[in-house]
Amino acid sequence: MSVLNFNVNGVSKSATKLESKARSFNITIDEPEDLGGKDEGPNPVEYILAGYAGCLNVVLNLVAKEKGIQINSLKLDVNGDLNPSKLLGGNEDRAGFRGINVNIEIDSPASKEELEVLLFEAKGRCPVNDTIANPTPIQYAIKQQVFVN
Residues 76-115 within binding reach of a second copy (CB under 8 A): 76-89, 94-108, 112, 115
Element (DSSP H or E) covering residue 122: helix 112-125
Q: How far is the CB of 117 from a second copy (least distance, A)?
A: 11
Q: How far is the CB of 81 from a second copy (least distance, A)?
A: 5
Among 4, 113, 148, 149, binds a second copy (CB under 8 A): 4
Round the CA-based radius of gyration of the chain to a whole number and report it: 19
Q: How far is the CB of 55 from a second copy (least distance, A)?
A: 4
Q: Are 87 and 77 in contact (CB under 8 A)?
A: no
Give the count of residues interacting with a second copy (CB under 8 A): 109
Q: Are 69 and 113 in contact (CB under 8 A)?
A: no
Q: Are 28 and 17 in contact (CB under 8 A)?
A: yes
Q: Is residue 15 within the footprint of a second copy (CB under 8 A)?
A: yes
Does residue 97 sit in helix, strand or coil?
A: strand
Q: Is residue 68 within the footprint of a second copy (CB under 8 A)?
A: no
